[in-house]
Structure 1
Amino acid sequence: MSLTVILSFVVTTIISALMIPLVIKAGNQLGIVAHMNKRTVHKHEIARIGGYAIYLSSLIGSALFLKADHQINAIMVAGFIIFMVGLYDDSHDLSPKVKLIFEVIAALIVIVYGEIYIKGFGYFPSDAMTFLSGIVTLFWIVGITNAINLIDGLDGLSAGISIIVLVTISMTSLLSGRSDIASLSLILAGSIMGFLFFNFHPAKIFMGDCGALYIGFMISVISLLGFGYNASTFFTLGAPIIVLMVPIMDTLIAILRRKIHHKKFSEADRGHLHHNLMFKLKLGQRKSVLVLYLVTFLFSLSSYLYYYNPTAGTILFIALMIMFEIFVEVTDMISRKYKPILTIVNIFIDSDKLPKIKFLDRYRKRRSPQKAMRDHLIIALCFLLVIVGVGYFMTSKDTPLPIKTETVQSPYTKSGDSELLNNIYARLDTSYKNKDEEDECQLVAAYFVCDYYTFVDKKKNEIGGVDYMYSEMVENFSQYAQTSFYSYKNQYPELEVLKYNIISYSPSKVTIAGLEDNDYYNILISLTFNEEIEGLNSTVNVTVVRVEDRYYVCGLDNA
């Protein structure tokens, strides 16, 4: 993790922590406080505009550590709208419908102007793909925005969970060289951390809707930027869904519970996860919050672990979901009648304290001791067979039976063998197969510069990245490279690119002879090396051209 990324977290933490006492004083003087009612768990009035410090410190951090482009600008504009709506709601109370309208407007700014949306619907026609992507993205942003707001019910709960989620996003982003996403995540995480010092039980301030809605909105958008896996594809939403499982499940259960009991979704109750931990299990505020921190951490761990070991990550996730479901049934979070797993478990243990299947219960009362013994043996055998089958499936190394599918052959080659290049190539191959052209274009530029600017393991006259150059330019470019950058090779034989950061991506007006009608793009990339070379600019501009079904590098300039 680079010093700049860490510094972004530290600086925003300090700024936020210094602002909070002033915000507390302002909230009390203006009367923007949380009043006691039958749902609240606090014992006195507390200022509820802590989101003001979170927003302002994250804004300052973004100005200090991020380079603006159309995506960052879209996020900042939309984030401002969400923050102002939440701030107005904290002081005047807005109806849920009005808040939803502004949430949709903010989401559309990100989708349309910022061009941040879920991709990977390549198997649909282009028009249907764009429409479907936009709809799913809209629901994702609005859903996560409100999920974080709904779980903001105990001191430090929403803030702590958000920090865990954002740190996980930053770590997975750094694994694939996306330090821009990592910085954006930690800027927000630091802003929340400074607030959490004053919000953990007993809280001196609440974040309010201005904080909860803003944090939820930013997390939803940051996850769309890539989450460290193959950038912004439909299938990689699984990663942020897993990390955000606590607020997502709490929201879905709340919708189902209120539907069953014929209540409006906007009608608050004490049936949330944190309420059940605090009141039904009698853990109190502090222990309830720490338990949900731990659960969020374990879900985050399963997502992070999946990056290295899909089997281990999947096993941990399934185990957590089973325990989560049992908790929901034991605490009657949905209803007293909803207990599918406990009912199935009771088939084996036959307890009077657990729900039973009526026809099985009548059968058991009529059967003889010999039949009861036979039934137990059959159940035990079936249970053993299930365990053996699952174990065999998880550990089997046999090659699966071939499935007749249409194979999409990537035109790109892997010319390097470093961890960074392997990672870029894997993402590039996936982007090509998913027809994610924007991501494919950027990854071609990234692979080229990371290979070109690395001397380690290069042969005497070998020039890195030339496999990604337009063929008619390779010879001239190789000659130029030998007399320019590659003249440093004998002096710095161990030079290697450790990571890269794509600063901007935009159409280019550059053209080359014979390809005047093709599409060209400029990708500005910053590089981090393992050693310094005096006079070498770490920021480069790569020009890429699309020819038939792939992209080629056709220009390189030190920015």
Structure 2
Amino acid sequence: MDMEIILHLGVSFVISLIFVPIIGRITKKLGIIAHINERTIHKGIISRTGGYAIYAAFLIAAAAFLKTDQQINAILIGGLVIFLTGFYDDIHDLSPKLKLLGQLIAALIVIIYGGISLKDLTLPFIPTNITYAISLIITLGWIVGITNAMNLIDGLDGLCAGISMITLMTISASSFIAGRGDIASLSMILVGAIGGFLVYNFHPAKIFMGDCGALFIGYMISVISLLGFGYETSTFFTLGAPIVVLAIPVADTLIAIIRRRVNHKQIDEADRGHLHHQLMFKLNLGQTKSVLILYLVTALFAIDSFIYERHPIRAVTLFIVLLILFELFVEVTDMISRKYKPVLTIANIFIKSDKLPKIKESAAFKKYLWRLTRGFGLFVVICIVITGIGSGVYYYHLESIKKKTVVYEKVNSPTTLMNQIYSEINKHTEVNNEQAKYVCAYFACDYYTLSNKGRNDIGGQAYFYKSRLSAFKNYAKKDYYKDANKYISSGKNKNIEVSSYRIISAQRSQVELSGLEGYRYYDIQLELTFKKKNPILGKEKITLTVTCINKDDKISVVSFDDDQSENNDVIES
């Protein structure tokens, strides 16, 4: 991870570190504190507005370092709505319905105004408009669900802050590796803001983040993951990695819903049956040990998401093992109910231990067992069907990629370097930022090389976006190719050739062509080295940024900037 992103982390951390105690003292005097009741486990008077410092530190660092565009603006506006919802709840205790309304408004802002959603979701045999509606519903549910999941695990000192930091660092690292510096930077700014708060929140906590912090963090994690999480796979699996990393809050939320339904309680009715409560009270581990164990489990799930990129089978195996261990924990601690012990009961058929639940032989129990077995059988059938559908969609997606694979044009008389780059393009058949790197490198080498050109030839045309090709050619004739014919006619073009190149960075671009909003754009920064000093540029090396678009399963260049002339913008007419 480069020093610029580390700087973003450090600045937000320091700001948060300074703000937290100041805000804590002010709000404690104002009486905004965590009240003690039958559900709380803290003692003393503790402010519950640490989230205010997290939000302020994030906002200041974001204003200093982030490049604003419509998506970033939508995220910041939605973040303000969710923060104010939580902050008001910390002071006046909002009803669950009003709190949900605030979350829905924040989610709709990023979906409608920011255009952030699973817009590339494709499902076989389903019309595009219906698929789009389904993707919006999933997006809305994802944002609201993760926002509340992070809020629900905020039950022990340092728990929510630590788990969210691990999650965001995983997102940032994955995004950086995939060339998504924008997501990496955004994530690390939030990590720093939370880190400064965690210094005061770890047991024994001097301040709590409150709903304003927990809701804001959950909202940000859900939205950042929708930006891509650094992965360029099918959107059908876009949320797979975040779900794995967020396994603890997601599972805890789902179990809480089931537990309350089983015990005939309202879904929004608070209790002491959460995962962290089981560790602390059932296993008597105390706050610090309970939190550290949950940190470790979250880290294991985070590692699993990394492994999946290179070793899917190993990752799936590890995930299943972790899920089985988690299921055993749920049954041992009676987390759902005292009767819910299916795995332990089945295991005892072979173990035959008096300490484990047994299958009883009474008529009543046999009837109950029959219902349970029938229900379990139905559950298995449903799982098989879902797995079959999922596999079908997955392989359909793979086949569609194969069918839509675009053959990139190989220009006449390519140089040795261009042949090497062309082979790399063909190796990376999936349309993503890896393929974009080599397409842009090929374009740049072709554009700046004259050794293989004839009179009036202009390099790079085959890789430029077709609707802007005329503007590109007009630009080239006035700039780099202005005196090209002179060098070609005199034979002085033989040494004007790119001999090597280096990819400096690759990340999502903030550029969008008018009428082509919503597609993926990339900024690829390159360093080109010529055989000899280029007489046109007056340099032996040049650095440039090439912007390209992923449209119709093809990477096409839309703009480039080599800082050699006053105007290199070839996007606008």
TM-score by length of 1: 0.79
Q: Is structure 2 residue 314 aligned with structure 1 residue 308?
A: no
Aligned residues of 2:545 and 2:560 also touching (Cα < 8 A):
no
Give me the whole-angstrom Cα distance separating, in 2, the residues matched to 1:349 and 1:204.
Answer: 48
Task: Specify the alignment match of 2:45 in structure 1.
Answer: 45
Query: Which AA in structure 1 matches 2:121?
Result: G
Give me the whole-angstrom Cα distance separating, in 1, the residues matched to 2:521 and 2:82.
Answer: 31
Task: Specify the alignment match of 2:431 in structure 1.
Answer: 428
- Aligned pairs for 1:251-400 (under 5 A) are 251-359=253-361
Aligned residues of 1:545 and 1:554 also touching (Cα < 8 A):
no
Relative to 1, partners in 2 of residues 1:76 and 1:337: Cα closer, same or farther, differing over 3 Å? same
Query: Which AA in structure 2 matches 1:503?
Result: S
- Give the deviation of 1:551 after TM superposition: 6.2
- Give the deviation of 1:525 after TM superposition: 2.5
SS in 1 for 2:147: helix
Relative to 1, partners in 2 of residues 1:338 and 1:525: Cα closer, same or farther, differing over 3 Å? same
Task: Specify the alignment match of 2:155 in structure 1.
Answer: 153
Task: Specify the alignment match of 1:448 in structure 2.
Answer: 439
Q: Flag structure 2 segments of 5+ consecutive residues without an equivalent.
A: 364-394, 411-417, 485-492, 531-538, 562-567
SS in 1 for 2:501: coil
Give me the whole-angstrom Cα distance separating, in 2, the residues matched to 1:194 and 1:109.
Answer: 28
Q: Is structure 2 residue 505 aligned with structure 1 residue 527?
A: no
Query: Which AA in structure 2 matches 1:428?
Result: V
The Cα offsets for residues 261-299 of structure 1, whole Å up to 9 and x where unpaired, read as 011111111100000000111110000000000000000
SS in 1 for 2:355: coil
- Aligned pairs for 1:145-184 (under 5 A) are 145-184=147-186
SS in 2 for 1:234: helix
Relative to 1, partners in 2 of residues 1:126 and 1:356: Cα closer, same or farther, differing over 3 Å? same
- Give the deviation of 1:536 after TM superposition: 5.0
Task: Specify the alignment match of 2:214 in structure 1.
Answer: 212
Relative to 1, partners in 2 of residues 1:152 and 1:341: Cα closer, same or farther, differing over 3 Å? same
Relative to 1, partners in 2 of residues 1:72 and 1:475: Cα closer, same or farther, differing over 3 Å? closer
SS in 2 for 1:328: helix
- Give the deviation of 1:102 after TM superposition: 1.1
Aligned residues of 2:546 and 2:559 also touching (Cα < 8 A):
no
Give me the whole-angstrom Cα distance separating, in 1, the residues matched to 2:505 and 2:113.
Answer: 29
Relative to 1, partners in 2 of residues 1:7 and 1:255: Cα closer, same or farther, differing over 3 Å? same
Task: Specify the alignment match of 2:406 in structure 1.
Answer: 411
SS in 1 for 2:26: helix
Give me the whole-angstrom Cα distance separating, in 1, the residues matched to 2:191 and 2:430.
Answer: 27
Task: Specify the alignment match of 1:137 in structure 2.
Answer: 139
- Give the deviation of 1:553 after TM superposition: 3.5
How many residues align? The count is 496
Query: Which AA in structure 1 matches 2:10?
Result: V
SS in 1 for 2:511: strand
Task: Specify the alignment match of 1:434 in structure 2.
Answer: none
Task: Specify the alignment match of 1:498 in structure 2.
Answer: 504
- Aligned pairs for 1:54-203 (under 5 A) are 54-118=54-118, 119-123=120-124, 124-203=126-205
Relative to 1, partners in 2 of residues 1:459 and 1:483: Cα closer, same or farther, differing over 3 Å? closer
The Cα offsets for residues 279-337 of structure 1, whole Å up to 9 and x where unpaired, read as 11111000000000000000000001111211221111111111111100100100111
- Give the deviation of 1:503 after TM superposition: 3.0
Relative to 1, partners in 2 of residues 1:540 and 1:528: Cα closer, same or farther, differing over 3 Å? closer
- Give the deviation of 1:468 after TM superposition: 2.8
Aligned residues of 2:83 and 2:213 also touching (Cα < 8 A):
yes
Aligned residues of 1:505 and 1:522 also touching (Cα < 8 A):
no
- Give the deviation of 1:255 after TM superposition: 0.3
Aligned residues of 1:142 and 1:217 also touching (Cα < 8 A):
yes
Give me the whole-angstrom Cα distance separating, in 2, the residues matched to 1:79 and 1:540.
Answer: 32
- Give the deviation of 1:448 after TM superposition: 3.3
SS in 2 for 1:115: coil
Task: Specify the alignment match of 2:381 in structure 1.
Answer: none
- Give the deviation of 1:447 after TM superposition: 5.0
Q: Is structure 2 residue 10 aligned with structure 1 residue 19?
A: no
Give me the whole-angstrom Cα distance separating, in 2, the residues matched to 1:420 and 1:18.
Answer: 53
SS in 1 for 2:183: helix
Task: Specify the alignment match of 2:374 in structure 1.
Answer: none
Aligned residues of 1:303 and 1:313 also touching (Cα < 8 A):
yes
Relative to 1, partners in 2 of residues 1:329 and 1:78: Cα closer, same or farther, differing over 3 Å? same
Query: Which AA in structure 2 matches 1:499?
Result: S
Give me the whole-angstrom Cα distance separating, in 2, the residues matched to 1:204 and 1:414.
Answer: 63
Give me the whole-angstrom Cα distance separating, in 2, the residues matched to 1:496 and 1:551.
Answer: 19
Give me the whole-angstrom Cα distance separating, in 1, the residues matched to 2:161 and 2:421.
Answer: 38
- Give the deviation of 1:481 after TM superposition: 6.7
Give me the whole-angstrom Cα distance separating, in 1, the residues matched to 2:343 and 2:450.
Answer: 62
Give me the whole-angstrom Cα distance separating, in 2, the residues matched to 1:343 and 1:109.
Answer: 48
Aligned residues of 1:120 and 1:234 also touching (Cα < 8 A):
yes
SS in 2 for 1:527: strand
Query: Which AA in structure 2 matches 1:221?
Result: V
The Cα offsets for residues 192-239 of structure 1, whole Å up to 9 and x where unpaired, read as 001001100010100000000000000000000001111781322111
Query: Which AA in structure 2 matches 1:357?
Result: I
Relative to 1, partners in 2 of residues 1:44 and 1:445: Cα closer, same or farther, differing over 3 Å? same
Relative to 1, partners in 2 of residues 1:460 and 1:84: Cα closer, same or farther, differing over 3 Å? same
Aligned residues of 1:541 and 1:556 also touching (Cα < 8 A):
yes
Relative to 1, partners in 2 of residues 1:164 and 1:424: Cα closer, same or farther, differing over 3 Å? farther
Give me the whole-angstrom Cα distance separating, in 2, the residues matched to 1:283 and 1:488.
Answer: 75
Q: Is structure 2 residue 19 aligned with structure 1 residue 10?
A: no
Give me the whole-angstrom Cα distance separating, in 2, the residues matched to 1:152 and 1:9.
Answer: 23
Give me the whole-angstrom Cα distance separating, in 2, the residues matched to 1:186 and 1:31.
Answer: 32
TM-score by length of 2: 0.77
Give me the whole-angstrom Cα distance separating, in 2, the residues matched to 1:117 and 1:508.
Answer: 20
Query: Which AA in structure 1 matches 2:439?
Result: F
Query: Which AA in structure 2 matches 1:17?
Result: L
- Give the deviation of 1:61 after TM superposition: 1.4
Relative to 1, partners in 2 of residues 1:201 and 1:482: Cα closer, same or farther, differing over 3 Å? farther
- Give the deviation of 1:452 after TM superposition: 3.8
Give me the whole-angstrom Cα distance separating, in 1, the residues matched to 2:189 and 2:11.
Answer: 8
Task: Specify the alignment match of 1:374 in structure 2.
Answer: none
- Give the deviation of 1:4 after TM superposition: 1.1
Relative to 1, partners in 2 of residues 1:155 and 1:354: Cα closer, same or farther, differing over 3 Å? same
Task: Specify the alignment match of 2:413 in structure 1.
Answer: none
